[in-house]
Each structure stands twice: as C-alpha cells, then as structure tokens.
Structure 1
Amino acid sequence: MRFYYAGLEIYSQASLLIFLHWVVPPQRDRLKKKRHRPEYVPADVTVVRLGHRQQRDKRITSHLGLTARAMGANHFVLCGDVDQGVLDTLADVTSTFGGSFTSEHQAKPLGYLRKFSKDGGKVVHLTMYGESFEAATPTIPTDAPIAVVVGGAKVPGEIYKLADYNISVGNQPHSEVAALALFMNILMGGVADSDNFPDARLEVKPHPSGKVVIDNQEDSNPS
C-alpha cells in the first residue's frame, strides 16, 4: 500500500507513521533540534508477536517481522498459529538483504516470556493503555536483553503484569506495525544502518530521485 503526503510517496504504514511523527505539527519543531543516538544501543532485541492468525494476519505479521529487522532487532518470535510462510519470508529477506536476523515459532508465549524475564531480560509490552513511549523508552536499561511484545486480537491480562514496562505509542487505535516502528526508532536511535546488514546480496543506496540497487553477487562474479 502507498500513501501520499504533500506530493511525497510513502510505501509502508511504518514509514508513514515515522514520517508523520517527525514532520507534522507539533512534532516538526523537533527537526530543528539535533538528534543523538543513545549512548548505548541494546545489543539483543527480540520482538514477540502474540496471537497470530494464519488466515487473517499473514501480511501484518510479516510486516511486523520486517519492521523489527529493519529497525535493528535480532530475533522475531511468532506466537499463535504456526505459519511457516511468515518465517520463510523473513528468512528470504535476510538472505537477500543481509544481516543475522532470525525467527521462530513459540507455542507458549507466557512460558517463553517468563523464562526470558527469569534469565535477566526486560519485557516491554506495547499497548494503547501504557505510559507514554517518549517518556518511558529512554528509561529502559540497555545492558540486558529486551523482548518487545506486540499484541494480537486478544492479549492475556497476565502480559500486563509480567511486563517490566507497559508502553503506549499514543492512546488512539492504530497499527501495531506503526507502534513498533516508533518505539524502536527511539530505543535504537533511528533506523538500522548498513553496518547492521553484512553479507547482503542486494544493497539499496539512498538516492533523491531514483532507485539504486547494487547486486553484490553479480559484482563478485563478473562475466
């Protein structure tokens, strides 16, 4: 799906929300201030998707995984229906565009998160009902693994109690993809750069007016 704003073409929900967050009043005034990456970016971030429904959620769950990867997460945990198609999509993108992003299915998300917490990790739950992400995100310790929990159709009440942080990206209904992107943008200090994606077969280079894609496999095997 494509969106348009003031003549600009924007290709995804996540991109649109980040764009609007920084450009549309009152947020656009922030552009006048120099932004800094956090002093210490978390080395281990896992995104946990709850309640996946294979027939209804394939596209949005795939986009959650792709957004997690693009924003610098290391791992994606799919909970709910088993859906090898989603896991294969994430693996194919990683194989093509680089990095070491991994994914798996977990049948028991509460058990997974309890163990994650017991092993010293911090659990962050993204929800409409939490505290403001702009205030809360900078307080999250970055010297421990972080699990970012993104809900599905129904979120077990125990998740709210289990989480170290219940964080809201606004208190209005919108997309879990957008919530993840905006949260990760602050947690990681921006979109992951090319250093996060070594061994890429294809590299997309920024360009103001066109598409520049480098095929590293082709370059390494000249005819």
Structure 2
Amino acid sequence: MVIEVIRIGQRLVRDDRVTTHVALVSRAFGAERIFMSEVNPEIKDTVEKINKTWGGKFEIDFIDKWKSVVKKKKEENFKIIHLSMYGQNINIIQEELRKEENLLIVVGAEKVPREIYELADYNVGVGSQPHSEISALAILLDRIQKGKQFEKDFPDAKRKIIPTKNGKNVQVKETRD
C-alpha cells in the first residue's frame, strides 16, 4: 500500500507547529510523502533532519495548487480520503479502506473548499466531536494499517528507540562523519 498525504491550507503563524506535526505523524505512521502549500519552508528542514537522524526517506513536496495534485493522483489510481468531522465514521469504513492500494489523504487546516468533498472517494471522520487534524490523521493511518507500520525499521537510522517498561533506551548507531 502506498500512502501519501496532502495538507491544504495553513492558518498563518498558528499552523507552523501543527503542519510540522502533520508531517511528522505522516512520516512516523507510514506515509511516504506529504504535499504542502502555503507553509514555512523550515518545516522541510525539520523533517530532513528527522530523516537523517531517525532514518527513512519521507519526502515533502511544496505545491502551488492542491487541485492539480489531487486530480493527478486520481489519474494514477490513488483513492482520495478526505479527513472530515462530517465524513463516514472510521469504524464503519476502515475495512473498505484497507483494501485500497494507493491512498492520498487530504488534511485540511482552515475551512476546506467544498470541491474536496466532491473529489474525494471517501470523506472520513474519526469522531463526532471537535478534535485535532493531527489526531485524526494518526487514527486513520493506524486503523488502515492495523499497527503494522510500527513493525518496520526505518532504513539508515542513526538512532532507534528501544521500547522499555521504565526509563528511556535509545540505540545510537556509530557513524563516521
């Protein structure tokens, strides 16, 4: 399964941290790429540093127009999932989503254009109360993959967290720089 994410919109100043977390959750929960518009370019630097230290090849692509990316992905046989509080409940639709091979997940910031609801193959909600788009993305990615995204190691990692009952254990790979 190929999973990519597109972040549409950004509330100025407030969303730098939120958008960074959308990217980090996308990366940590198994997506391969995120498309972003209207964002602080430092977010890409942050994620590249995370990749360098913690491994992986997660990519950030800056875009001008979200609609052209969504339409192109549809042509490439991606199913478009729009995260929305008003969509079908994740508990009802998750089995169907697991059968898809290529997914583009739309994560909005401010009011999402009505057209997204129409372009999406699935409008999915994770609850019926106001909540963070970060939490919705994490829940969706986890439900789609049934936790299997956490069973793989990130390639070229210089650091790896070793799960422990108490304390912290971080394995540091020695490198010659």
TM tier, shorter chain?
over 0.9
Offset, 1:87: 1.2
User: 1:177 aligns to what?
Assistant: 134
Q: Counterparts in 2 of 1:119-158, with a 5 A limit?
A: 119-140=76-97, 142-158=99-115
Equivalent residue of 1:120, what SS? coil
Equivalent residue of 1:185, what SS? helix
Asked whether the equivalents of residues 46 and 75 of structure 1 are also in contact (C-alpha less than 8 Å), the reply is yes
Give the paired residue count.
176
Equivalent residue of 1:134, what SS? helix
Q: 1:69 to 1:191 in 2, by over 3 A?
A: farther
CA distance in 2, matches of 1:142, 1:196: 24
CA distance in 2, matches of 1:101, 1:151: 20
User: 2:63 aligns to what?
Assistant: 106
Asked whether the equivalents of residues 98 and 145 of structure 2 are also in contact (C-alpha less than 8 Å), the reply is no
Residue identity matched to 1:179: A
Using the size of structure 1 for normalisation, the TM-score is 0.75
Correspondence 1:167 to 2:142: no
Q: Counterparts in 2 of 1:1-223, with a 5 A limit?
A: 42=1, 44-79=2-37, 81-140=38-97, 142-190=99-147, 192-193=149-150, 195-216=152-173, 218=174, 220=175
Q: 1:98 to 1:125 in 2, by over 3 A?
A: same
Equivalent residue of 2:51, what SS? helix
Identity percentage of aligned residues: 36
Equivalent residue of 2:106, what SS? strand
The CA deviation string for residues 153-185 of structure 1, in whole angstroms up to 9 with x for no partner, is 120000000000000011211100010011111
Residue identity matched to 2:13: Q
Asked whether the equivalents of residues 46 and 73 of structure 1 are also in contact (C-alpha less than 8 Å), the reply is yes
Offset, 1:214: 1.2
Equivalent residue of 2:19, what SS? helix
Offset, 1:138: 1.4
**Which consecutive unaligned segments of at least 5 residues does structure 2 have?**
none
Q: 1:122 to 1:196 in 2, by over 3 A?
A: farther
Offset, 1:121: 0.7
Offset, 1:144: 2.8
Residue identity matched to 1:158: E
Equivalent residue of 2:46, what SS? helix
Structure 1 or 2, whichever has the larger Rg, is 1
**Which consecutive unaligned segments of at least 5 residues does structure 1 have?**
1-41
Residue identity matched to 1:53: R
The runs of 4+ residues in structure 1 deviating greater than 6 Å are none
CA distance in 2, matches of 1:132, 1:156: 21
Using the size of structure 2 for normalisation, the TM-score is 0.93
Equivalent residue of 1:146, what SS? strand
| Larger relative contact order (Cα-Cα within 8 Å, sequence gap ≥ 6) | 2
